[in-house]
Amino acid sequence: MQRTISLSMPNTKEITETIKQYNIISNLHIKKALELKSNSKNKLHKALYRKTRKQFPNFPSALIQCARDNAVEMLNGNKYKKKTIKNPLSSIRFDLRTSKVFLGSGEVQLTTIKGRKKYPIRIPEYFHKYSSWKVKAVIIGVHRQMCKVRVVIENGDVKPFINNKVLGIDLGINNFAVCSDYTIIKANKIKAVKRRYAYLRRRLQAIGTPSAKKHLKKISGRERRFMADYNHCLSKNIVEKPFGVFALEDLKNIRKGRKGKKFNRMRSNWAYFQLRQFLSYKAEDRGKKIILVDPRFTSQRCSKCGFIDKSNRKKGFFLCQSCGFSHSADLNASFNIFQLGNALLDRLSVNQPIVTVNDGVRCIKPPDASYKPVYL
């Protein structure tokens, strides 16, 4: 189990110069990899190591290898696009040879162009619980007058949650999340905040004065921070429920397709993936699991008889044309997700997220709970 904690430390001249040279060396490796049409670290090392040592004699040799590895990972992530490049002050990564973090005393040691240096770091009280975890890597980036330090830590001592009860979670725009235990999280507050920020941005952009641009810069990130805080609180409430497995739809390609300007704008502001990320790591902390199911037909399928038809759902209401089962459309979808997750759990191990399809899934009665929805 890995976590990344974000800390800060003072910026110095040698750190800035180390970052600049690191990014130049990374770009040299990116260019050479594109020329060789290879992602082999061994080939890149033979082609550039000695040349790089002559060009940057004060640059630590271990960091050259970090820059090479970073370049290969960037190219793999960008599918070898020719425009792949690192900015002069973009963040750099130190491995265990080039860095050491003392979370207990609040100190970090880094290998720079001026040798090994010690720097104080401010560790909030909340992060003290990670003091016994193993540090795997350190990522440093310049942010205004400070340096942002992201520390990757690892801990393997997590007790699995014994209960394997499945909770189906249907994510949407009108109802942000609907759980198969009849918990409904409305999206009214989210919509109101997003409308307010959209209106404010539109007015300030139309004015275009230096004062308006200054105000735009001031409010930048506020909406993002609000959404992150909302998702943190919501994911914490969900994972604290007495369930060991949480089933969600795999909405990887949900933003493809055009369904009107208004709906596309609402869909682009939908932070479903962030909520899934928060749920994943919070569930992992408690020894619980997340599984992903195929989202096809979860809104059209009857959770009682399994009949699938587009006419079953009309806006927010579900009425099965075969058996007459009627319910809230989002609750019916959460029951289907619960059934898919439960069937998958019966057949396979869910140590990692697994995607399943609707074929062959037996119909299961909705989970035992009160039929009265709980609105949050």
Please give the Cα distance from 364 to 176 (Å, whole number).
Answer: 24
State the burial class of residue 80 (Cβ atoms within 10 Å of its Cβ: 0-12, 13-18, 19+): middle
Q: Phi and psi (nearest 5°) for 30?
A: -65, -45
Question: What sign for the dihedral angle of Cα 35, 38, 44, 46?
Answer: negative
Neighbours of 304 (CB within 10 A): 19
Taking the C-alpha atoms of residue 250 and residue 253, their distance in angstroms, rounded to an integer, is 8
Which two structure tokens, joined as six digits, stand for 195?
């409308």
Q: CA angle 219-232-280, nearest 5°?
A: 130
CB 94 within 8 A of CB 137: yes
Please tell me what DSSP assigns to residue 361.
P
Between CA 301 and CA 238 the distance in angstroms is: 25
Active site residue 170: yes
Residue 330 annotated in active site: yes
Of the candidates 125, 285, 309, 330, the residue annotated as catalytic is 330
Contacting residues for 158 by C-beta, under 8 A, at least 6 apart: 1, 284, 285, 287
- Residue with the two structure tokens 């001249």: 13
Q: Which of 125, 157, 170, 229 is catalytic?
A: 170
Options 154, 157, 249, 285, the catalytic residue: 249
Total residues belonging to the chain: 376
CA gyration radius, the chain: 25
Secondary structure of residue 364 in the 3-state scheme = coil
Angle ∠(246,4,291) on CA atoms, nearest 5? 15
Residues classed as catalytic? 170, 249, 330
